[in-house]
């Protein structure tokens, strides 16, 4: 198992290097000039040149890339162009917020999708399956921004139960923290639950038609035993993949949801950085997102290997 994990980690190094190159190139390909954006309409050509020089934008691209890459290896992602604070510090400030929101959302998603998916598969083609399918499809089709505004309207404006937006850290006030994160987590969790329910339904339905399930039935096991002991364990593998992808996606920035609920997380950091052309911040956020997605998929792989020993020896 340890050898498998090491092999998997080593194989990631070239991938991550390519990611850094793509991130760097992508940001450089964006049209526009950060100096122009920072100085706004009042800039004089002289001030623009001064700023470009102090931002290092006058150096050659390979020079800029290498200094960024060697910095990134030392966890130094440069300084923000807008307010001169360190990018690593900004990310360290925002990442826990998004991490907490994502985990909360995935918990909600898990609590909904597991029972709903199993129920749907076991009671295939009954009214309950059709109802769950309908709900899941609406959940997939409903855009986050719409659901978010709907929840704000209902729970913050009409019922006045939950503040419309904001964030308090878990350490400062746990109760308020959970209250404020509830609506955004539900917004994100419902969408992901809908997807995961469909995944679980289809994989479990398929497993339930397999020969070994029939054998288990023939041995005289109860329906419940067959489903939970034999079928579910196998059906969970694709579910786990989908779960990992969803979580990775959330960590990469729940951009719209954070914008609507004014949560100072990773996604908003990225949006603001894009609008203010804050290149070091964009590079840092995208790089950390890529690493986060890699880590999640790595953990999912380890999870597979634990569930299915055959995978380890590939």
Partner 1 sequence: MPKLKPLVLLGLSLSCAALINSASAVTLTVGLDADPPRLDPALSSALVDRQVMNQIFDKLVDLDVNLKVIPALATSWKVTNGGLLYTFKLKSGVKFTDGTVLDAAAVKYGIDRNRTLEGSVRKNELSSVKEVKVIDPQTVQIVLSQPYGPLLAVLTDRAGMIVSPTAAKKEGADFQNNPVGSGPFVFVSRVRQDNITLSANKNYWDGAPKIDKLIYRPFPDGDVRYANLLSGAVQTVTPIDPKDITKLEQNAKFSVMNYPGIGYQGVWFNVTRAPFNNKNFRQAVAATIDREAIAKSIFYGTVTPAAGPFPPGTSAASSAITVQKPNIALAKSKLGGKPLTFTLLTVPGSVTTQLAQVYQAMFAQAGITAKIEQVEFGTLLDRADKKDYDALMLGWSGRPDPDGNIYDFFVTGGSNNQAGYSNKTVDGLLAKARAQNAMSARIATYNVALSTIINDTPYTWVYFQGNQVASVKGLSGLKPIPDGILRFKDVELK
- Backbone CA torsion sign across 14, 16, 18, 24: negative
Q: Nearest distance from residue 254's CB to partner 1, in Å?
A: 13
Q: Nearest distance from residue 264's CB to partner 1, in Å?
A: 4
Q: Nearest distance from residue 61's CB to partner 1, in Å?
A: 18
| Pick 94 or 230: Cβ nearer partner 1 | 94
| Pick 112 or 255: Cβ nearer partner 1 | 255
**For helices 12-29 and 2-10, what crossing angle results, to 10°?**
30
Q: Nearest distance from residue 233's CB to partner 1, in Å?
A: 43
Please give the residue ranges that form the binding site for partner 1 (CB under 8 A): 31-34, 36-47, 50-51, 54, 82-85, 90, 93, 149, 152-153, 156-157, 160, 163-167, 259-260, 262-264, 268-269, 271-272, 274-277
230 vs 165: CA distance, rounded Å: 45
109 vs 45: CA distance, rounded Å: 53
φ and ψ of 86, to 5 deg? -75, 135
| Pick 43 or 103: Cβ nearer partner 1 | 43
Q: Which residues contact 264 (CB under 8 A, 6 or more apart)?
A: 93, 94, 97, 167, 258
| Pick 12 or 38: Cβ nearer partner 1 | 38
| Pick 11 or 44: Cβ nearer partner 1 | 44
For 79, the 3-state DSSP assignment is strand
Q: Nearest distance from residue 255's CB to partner 1, in Å?
A: 12
Among the listed residues 99, 77, 101, 103, the one whose alpha carbon sits nearest the alpha carbon of residue 90? 77
């Amino acid at each position: 198992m340890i050898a498998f994990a090491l092999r998997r980690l080593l194989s990631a190094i070239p991938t991550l290097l390519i990611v850094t190159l793509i991130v760097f190139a992508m940001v450089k390909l964006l049209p526009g000039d950060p100096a122009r954006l920072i100085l706004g309409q009042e800039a004089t050509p002289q001030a623009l040149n001064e700023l470009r020089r102090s931002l290092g934008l006058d150096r050659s691209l390979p020079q800029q890339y290498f200094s960024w890459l060697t910095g990134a290896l030392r966890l130094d992602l440069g300084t923000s162009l807008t307010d001169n604070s360190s990018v690593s510090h900004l990310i360290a400030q925002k990442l826990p917020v998004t991490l907490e929101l994502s985990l909360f959302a995935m918990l909600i998603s898990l609590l909904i999708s597991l029972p709903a998916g199993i129920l749907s598969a076991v009671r295939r083609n009954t009214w309950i399956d059709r109802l769950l399918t309908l709900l899941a499809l609406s959940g997939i089709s409903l855009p986050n921004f719409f659901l978010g505004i709907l929840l704000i309207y209902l729970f913050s404006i009409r019922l006045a139960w939950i503040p419309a937006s904001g964030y308090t850290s878990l350490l400062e006030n746990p109760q308020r923290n959970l209250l404020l994160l509830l609506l955004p987590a539900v917004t994100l969790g419902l969408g992901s639950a809908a997807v995961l329910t469909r995944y679980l339904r289809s994989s479990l339905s398929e497993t339930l038609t397999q020969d070994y399930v029939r054998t288990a039935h023939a041995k005289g096991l109860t329906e419940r035993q067959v489903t939970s002991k034999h079928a579910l364990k196998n059906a969970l593998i694709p579910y786990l993949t989908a779960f990992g992808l969803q979580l990775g996606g959330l960590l990469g920035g729940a951009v719209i949801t954070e914008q609507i609920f004014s949560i100072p997380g990773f996604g908003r950091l990225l949006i603001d950085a894009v609008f203010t052309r804050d290149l070091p911040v964009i590079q840092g956020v995208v790089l950390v997102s890529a690493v986060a997605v890699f880590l999640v998929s790595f953990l999912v792989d380890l999870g597979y290997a634990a569930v299915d020993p055959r995978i380890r020896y590939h």
